[in-house]
Each structure stands twice: as structure tokens, then as C-alpha cells.
A and B are shown apart, each in its own frame.
Chain A
Amino acid sequence: MDFGLSKEQEDIQRAARDFTQGEFDPDLALQLEKECQYPIDIWKKACKLGFIGIHFPEKYGGQELGLLENILVVEEFCRQHSGIGMALGLSDFGSEIILRFGNDDQKEKYLYPITKGESISSLAYFEKDQGYNFASFKTTATRTANGYLVNGKKSFVVNGTLPGPLVVFCQMNNTKSDEQVAFVLEKNGDGPVVSMIGGRVGMNMVPMADLSFTYFEVPHKSLIGDEGQGQSQLMNFSDEVNIEAAAMGVGIAQGAFDLALSYAKQREQFGQKIGSFEAIRDKLADMATRIEVARLLTYKAAWTFDRNEANRKLNYMAKLVSTETALEVAMDSLHIFGGYGYVSEYKIEQFYRDASMVDILGIPGELDKSLIGDQIIGKI
């Protein structure tokens, strides 16, 4: 058992922190959030410095590092600014499927441009009719002579309007069994019909879209792995993305806490700094403790994943705890700011809104709880 980060990991963390402190301009962030714009320039810089796709193999532009190194970066990004951090952290959302299950051609074609700042990935899996029932999709794939025809509608597709690879999960239409399959396509040009989803509570720098496939032709080479592997690919993906989302939650919580701590040390009322009042100190103590718990759980989940011992229950726990921690800490932090907490110029309201959105990345907390229960006690 070793709770320390390696020197390399500490260096990565420090490099990420330096980058965010130099580049995450708060005034720009306010404007991007308000106008629902992606932080393209900052993202490109992050790619150039090797932060995006740090866990890809070197031949695809990465540094062969693990999920833990990846989430150390994501956590630092979200700590400095939740909005920019989430956008950068999600720039390779869905690429995990290509990385873990794609063939060499697919990895070469789609992963490299992500690290070079040329493309942003997406994953289409959620459907409005199915909700969180990922066991069966209404979007179908029908075998043809040259490939498949995809038909159906996907929603809440992160990065859906930005050019890059799109992984889409379908239900096989012409086999006897109820199997799922995944394809990878390009989002620009002849893709599905994309309509952008409007403003949301938070995470407004990240575009989300509804996609509509009408008997859309997909060549055979777009198939990821084999027919019938879709379900297990998606489960594995959710293992990884749960941990990534948990790391975002930890980063957002830490960032919100940093802001509140700084404010408590400086704001004076009743002749003293508000940080000297027991009620505020108790709040800060609770917040710091909960962040530490969430971080430990998240790091353990990432470390376990990197040892190829993926522990699904641990991943669900990490996601559940970090999601709840992010929102609770952000709310307490906003509270410490008093009236200023509601003024947009002060960063804290952005952290508050973004914290609420961590839940929808990967498996939502409510479902995590059910799944943990299944792991512990099973169906009886």
C-alpha cells in the first residue's frame, strides 16, 4: 500500500496547475460561458503541451500514461476553473472506446488528431425514450452488403457539434439475439442531422446535441470490435468515464473550496475576518474532509483501473461520492460568499452550476447507488 504520488505524477500535477494558472483567464471564461462558446484557444494550447490524451499510446500522440495521470490533469483543470476544466476534460469524451476496443487503423485515424488539437470526440448513447436503460437501444443497425444502416435518435451528445470522431451505440437489427454494436464516424460533412441543445444550468462551454440518423450508411470498417460487443464496451467505457467524472467532481469541489477559503480569510464583518467565526470554520472543516474522502476514493478507483483490476463497485462509489461532494462543497462555498455568491463576476456561481452537472457524465448518482446495491447484495 502506497498513498504517495510518484515524482512523475507530482510533476504532471504541477505542470497542469502552472498551465491553468497561466492560461485560464477568468474574464474570458465569463464571456465563453455566457455565449456558450468552446474554449478553443486554451484547448489547443493544452493539446500542444501534451495534456490531452496523456493516456494514449505514444504512437497516437499520447504519453502512454494511465488513467490516474489523466485524472490528475483533469482535476487540476477543473480546480482552476470548472467551466474551462470540464470542457478540456471532456474533449476526448468517447475516445476511450476507440482506445480500448478500436483496431490500429481506427486508433491511428481518430486518436492522433485529438492529441494534436485537430478534433474533439463524442459518444452517442443516451436516448430520450430509453433514459438510463442502457440494456437496449431504439437506435438500430441493420446489416447491408457494404456495412450497416443506422436508424434512430440520440440525445445529450457531448461535443456533438464539434468536428471529430463520433462513436455511436446501436441495437443489432437482424440477429436473433438482443445484441449491441458500436461504430465510429466523422462528425463533419455527411454525418447525422445535428441540432444543438440550448443553454443549461452549467457546463455551457461544452456543446451538446441531438443527433438524428435516418437509415444512415455506415461502412464495414466503422465497426468497433465485433457485433454483439457493444454492451460490454459500453460497460467498460462507463467504468473509465465514471472515474474521469469523479475526478472532475473532486477538482470542482477543491476549486470552490479554494475560493471560499480565500474569501473567508479576507472578508470582515463584526470587526473580524469571517474565517474566525466558528460556524464558518466548521463548514470549511467539513468541506475539506469531504473533498479528501472523495479524492482518495477516486484515486484508488483510477489506480485499480490502471492495474487492469477494474472494480466496478469502487467506480460507482467514486462517482457517487464525488458527485455529491462537488455539489455540497460548491453550495457551502457559495454560501460563504453571501450575496456576492450570486454575482456572476465572482467565480463561485460558475463552480456551483457546473458542480450540479457532473452527475450526468457517465452513470448518474442515483443509478450508481442501485448498482452498488446490486454488487453488494445482488438480486434476491
Chain B
Amino acid sequence: MDFHLSEKQKAIRDMARKFAREVVAPRAGEIERTGEHPYDILAQMGELGMMGIPFPEKYGGGGGDWVSMHLCIEEISRADVLLGAIMDSNSSVVGQELFVFGTEEQKQRWLIPIAQGKQLGAFGLTEPDAGSDAAALKTTAVLDGEEWIINGSKQFITNIGLDNASIVIITAKTQIETAGTTVISAIIVPKDAPGFTVGKKYEKLAMRASATHELFFDDCRVPKDYLLGDIKRGFAQHLAVLQTGRINVGAIATGLAQACFDEALTFVKQGSRGHQSLFKSQRIPFKLADMAVSIELSRNMYLKAAWLKDQGEEHTLEAHFAKLFASETATKIATEVLKIFSPYGYLEEYPISRYFKVAKLWEIVEGTSEMQRLIIARELLM
């Protein structure tokens, strides 16, 4: 057993931490306030190799491991969770889905620019009536000669609305002749596919710069060989990479919790602004102690899950432990820190106001806490 990071892992973590502190943190407030997507920061992240850490060099990646990827995601998320979320959807989900299940041609065409951070990919799973019950999707794809004809809609899809978005990998119900049964397949839809429309961007409580849209497919046509992986296993493929997405959320939420904690620690140490009596005794210091414990546990959990993945070992439980614990921790910590900063923390210019508004999101996206518990319980009771 060795709890140390390798030199390479430390180097990636430190590189990300420096970038987050020097480039991202000074811009995070303005990004949230204006809702303008930070294309330039993402381009720099691409150049630094952040989008391709776990992919082989021949596919534009860095030949690193998933532990390093997650360390990078945590550090970036400390400055702005929006960017950690993009690393998650773009690389850990879409990139990985292409890497594991794609043909050589698909990898050459789409994985390389995604790993290099030059283009961004999206995944389209959720629909108006298929949230937690993702398998209840209604979007269909019918084979017509050499093309798929896709009809349906998707909800809350990130990235595809961006200028440099390339593809959205959707799940759709297809028909197989053998038994007449309906199965779910994964199909790659390029942004400029005929019949594909990106709908309105949602006005949101937080992550305002995140491009989150409805998508519409009206007899949308894509070539037959844009099918990704096994026609019968689209849903299972998607779930497999979403499991990594869950470890990612573990890292994102840990980064967010750490950011909140750092703010609180500085504020308490300064002991200024008439809060001396509140800070001198036990309540606040004990809360800080509890926060430090929870953050350390969050971090260790996502690292273990990522490490198991790097070893090629089963890690369903660990991935869901990481997501569940880190996200609930982040909400609790953000809420406590907001109170510690009272009344200043409510003002837009204080980062905690932003952290508080975005914290709860992580208990909802990529599988609600209820879904996490359902999956964990199922594994335990099997």
C-alpha cells in the first residue's frame, strides 16, 4: 500500500494548481457574472494537455493515468467547477467512449481533436421524460440505406452549443430484425448534421457560462458508420463511461469543497470585521475541523476509485461512494462557509456566493444522490 503520488502525478497536479490559481481564479467571478464561455482558457487547458491526460499519445493524449486526470480536475475545479465539468463531459465521458468503443476512423476523426482540447464533445442521454430513468428515452434511430434517421429530443445537454463543439454522442432506440426487440444504441451526431437543431440555452441558477441546451432531431441524418460500438450495447457503453464521470464528480466536488474551506480558513485567521468573538472559541474552529476531515475523505475516495480503474479492477462501489460522499460534503461545507461569512458572503463579489449556488448541483447531475444510493444498495444486496 502506498498513499504517495508518483512524480508524474504530482507534476500534473502542481501544473494544474498553478494554472488554476494564476489563470482561472482571477476570471471565475466575471465568467459567472457575464455567462460568457471562456474559450481562451479552455484553449490553454488544451495546449497544456489537460483534456487528453488519460489517452495515448497517438490519439492526441498525454499517456497518463486516471489518477492524474482526476487530480487535474480537482485542482481546476477549485478555481471554477465549470471547467472541471467540461473536462468531465468532454474527456472522461465522450473522449473515453470514443477511445474504448470507437473504430480507428472515429478515433482519428473525433478523439484526437477532443484529447487535444481543440474541439469539444457532448453526450446526449437525458430527455424530458428520461432523467433518472435514463433508459426510458424516446429518441429513435432508424436505418435507411446508408444513413440513420434520428427523431426525438434531448434535455440539459452541455457543450454542443459551443462554437468549437464537434459532436454529440446520443443514445437512441433502434430496431433489430432478429428478435424484433427494441434496443438502445449510441450514435455520433456531428453538430452540422442535417435535421439537428440546438435549442435555447437555459437561464440557470449557477454555471451560467455553461452551454446547456435542449436538442431537437427532426429526421436528422447521419452516416451508418457513425454508430458507436455495439449496436445492442449503446446504453451499457454509456453507463460504463458515466461511471468514470461519477469519479470525476468526486474530484469536482472535492475541489469545490476545498475552495470553500480555503476561503473560510483565510477569513477566520484574519479574524477581522468584528467577528472576533465568533471565531475565538470553539464553534467555528470545530466546524473547520469537521470540514477538513470530510474533504480529506472525499479526496481519498475519488483517488482510490481512479486508482482501481487504472489497475483495471472493478470499481462500481468506489465510484459511487466517491460521487455521493463528495457531492453531499460540498453542499454542507458551502452552506456552513456561507454562514461563517455572514453577512458578506451573500454579495456577488465574494466567491463563496458563487460556490454556494453551484454546490447543490453536484448532488443532482450525473445521477442524483438517490440514484447513487440505489446503485450502491443494489451492489451490496446482490
Contacts and interface: CB of A to CB of B under 8 A. Distances in A.
A130 B274 CA distance: 4
B155 interface: yes
Nearest to B205: A349
A359 B205 contact: no
A237 B202 CA distance: 43
Interface in A183-199: 197-199
Interface in A341-380: 341-345, 349, 352-353, 356-357, 359-360, 364-367, 369-370
A270 B135 CA distance: 9
Contacts of A331: 331, 335, 360
A366 B357 contact: no
A343 B204 contact: yes
A364 B339 contact: yes
A227 B171 CA distance: 74
B370 to A, nearest CB: 5
Interface string B268-290: 00000111011000010000000
B363 interface: yes
B361 interface: yes
A352 B346 contact: no
Nearest to B273: A131
Given A128-B273, A201-B356, A201-B357, A342 B283 contact: no
B38 to A, nearest CB: 20
A334 interface: yes
Contact of A344 (B136, B203, B346, B364): B203
Interface residues of B, number: 45
B193 interface: no
B295 to A, nearest CB: 20
A341 B133 CA distance: 17
A6 interface: no
- Most B CB atoms within 10 A — which of A129, A339, A341, A364? A339
Chain B contact surface mostly: mixed
A279 B370 contact: yes
Contacts of A280: 370
Contact of B136 (A197, A269, A353, A357): A269
B126 interface: yes
A202 B346 contact: yes
B35 to A, nearest CB: 12
A208 to B, nearest CB: 9
B205 A366 contact: no
B347 A197 contact: yes
A270 B364 contact: no
Contact of B205 (A129, A279, A353, A369): A353
A342 B356 contact: no
A367 B278 contact: yes
B230 interface: no
B364 A342 contact: yes
Given A129-B273, A201-B357, A342-B206, A327 B335 contact: yes
Contacts of B365: 339
Contact of B204 (A334, A342, A352): A342
